[in-house]
């Protein structure tokens, strides 16, 4: 119980401070609708957002709707997305998921976690990002970056991203989840990266590791 209370105090401070630092939470991946966001998030696996944003303009000129992408060859898509890494797998997934969207979902991106996770190349985190940022459905996408920060901030003892996701959802108000996951990412990139902070240097780490005065 004492540990739970300490985590809640930490979480409240983090929630408030990140809200002050990042009042606006724009999605870092360029997109215009749920489909283009889905493709961009898929491409972002093991790739920087900057690189994805450099690649997607050409990809979406080739095809920016499922019914158009479904008619393209994997080779055509691969020629564009190769710089994102894991090119063959990603190109195949983009074409195949587009075909499924046309066939099963009337060319629309589904709004349920289960249906999204059935699509090729779409994992749990990708599905949650689309639900959160395209449809406003409360989710808490946790990648390795957020997982690392949550452990550094002693919000979780989770051994993997799913356990960390469970713990974070229990600590923060559901209404804050969609913005908070982006705020943690923004803060980590700017102030609390793996190499940039040893758990004591940045503002939040310094605050959380300061022992209260007797």
Among the ranges given (3-7, 33-37, 117-121, 122-126), the one the predictor scored with the smallest mean pLDDT? 3-7
Confidence of residue 118 (pLDDT cuts 50, 70, 90): very high
Same domain, 112 and 44: yes
* Catalytic residue status for 72: no
pLDDT of 211 higher than 50:
yes
Torsion angle (degrees, nearest 10) of CA 32, 53, 90, 112 = -40
Which of 143, 151, 154, 169 is an active site residue?
Answer: 143
pLDDT of 112 higher than 90:
yes
- DSSP structural state of residue 108: -
Report pLDDT digits (tens) over 79-105.
999 999 999 999 999 999 999 999 999
Same domain, 106 and 55: yes
Same domain, 38 and 118: yes
76 within some domain:
yes
Is there a contact between 110 and 4 (Cβ–Cβ < 8 Å)? Answer: no
Q: What is the rounded CA–CA span in Å between residue 197 and residue 174?
A: 28
Q: What is the rounded CA–CA span in Å between residue 23 and residue 169?
A: 20
Q: How many domains does the chain have?
A: 2
* Catalytic residue status for 167: no
Same domain, 116 and 152: no
pLDDT of 78 higher than 50:
yes
Q: Tell me the average pLDDT across 109-115.
A: 97
Q: What is the rounded CA–CA span in Å between residue 37 and residue 31?
A: 5
- Read off the CATH number of the domain in which 163 is found: 1.10.1670.10
Last residue of a domain, one of 116, 135, 154: 135
213 within some domain:
no
Is there a contact between 59 and 81 (Cβ–Cβ < 8 Å)? Answer: yes
Last residue of a domain, one of 117, 135, 153: 135
The residue ranking higher by pLDDT, 214 or 5, is 5
Q: Tell me the average pLDDT across 102-122.
A: 97
Same domain, 122 and 98: yes
Q: What range defines the domain where residue 66 resides?
A: 34-135
Supply the pTM of this predicted model.
0.91
214 within some domain:
no
DSSP 3-state assignment of 137? coil
Confidence of residue 213 (pLDDT cuts 50, 70, 90): very low
Same domain, 38 and 131: yes
Confidence of residue 194 (pLDDT cuts 50, 70, 90): confident
Same domain, 38 and 128: yes
Confidence of residue 200 (pLDDT cuts 50, 70, 90): confident
pLDDT of 56 higher than 80:
yes
61 within some domain:
yes
Q: Tell me the average pLDDT across 153-174.
A: 96
Last residue of a domain, one of 80, 107, 135: 135
- Read off the CATH number of the domain in which 118 is found: 1.10.340.30
Which of 15, 90, 125, 167 is an active site residue?
Answer: 125
Is there a contact between 90 and 81 (Cβ–Cβ < 8 Å)? Answer: yes
Same domain, 111 and 151: no
Confidence of residue 197 (pLDDT cuts 50, 70, 90): confident
Cβ burial 171-195 (10 Å sphere, 16+ → b, else e): bbeeebbbbbbbbbbbbbeeebeee
Same domain, 95 and 151: no
CA distances (Å), origin 69, targets 64, 77, 79, 140: 7, 9, 14, 29
Average pLDDT taken over every residue of the chain: 94
Same domain, 129 and 38: yes
DSSP H helical ranges for 73-160:
74-81, 87-105, 113-117, 124-135, 144-152
């Amino acid at each position: 119980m004492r540990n739970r209370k300490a985590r809640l105090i930490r979480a409240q401070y983090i929630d408030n401070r990140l809200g002050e630092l990042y009042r606006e939470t724009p999605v870092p991946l360029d997109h215009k609708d749920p489909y283009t966001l889905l493709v961009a998030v898929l491409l972002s696996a093991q790739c920087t957002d900057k690189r994805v944003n450099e690649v997607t303009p050409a990809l979406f000129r080739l095809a920016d709707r499922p019914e158009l992408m479904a008619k393209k060859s994997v080779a055509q898509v691969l020629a564009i997305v190769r710089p994102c890494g894991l090119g063959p797998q990603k190109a195949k997934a983009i074409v195949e998921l587009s075909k499924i969207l046309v066939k099963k979902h009337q060319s629309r991106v589904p709004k349920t976690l289960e249906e999204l996770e059935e699509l090729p190349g779409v994992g749990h985190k990708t599905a949650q990002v689309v639900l959160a940022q395209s449809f406003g459905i409360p989710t808490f996408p946790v990648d390795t970056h957020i997982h690392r920060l949550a452990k550094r901030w002693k919000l979780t003892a989770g051994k993997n991203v799913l356990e960390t996701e469970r713990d974070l959802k229990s600590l923060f108000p559901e209404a804050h989840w969609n913005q908070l996951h982006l705020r943690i990412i923004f803060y980590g990139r700017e102030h609390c990266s793996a190499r940039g902070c040893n758990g004591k240097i940045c503002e939040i780490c310094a605050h959380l590791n300061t022992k209260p005065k007797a």
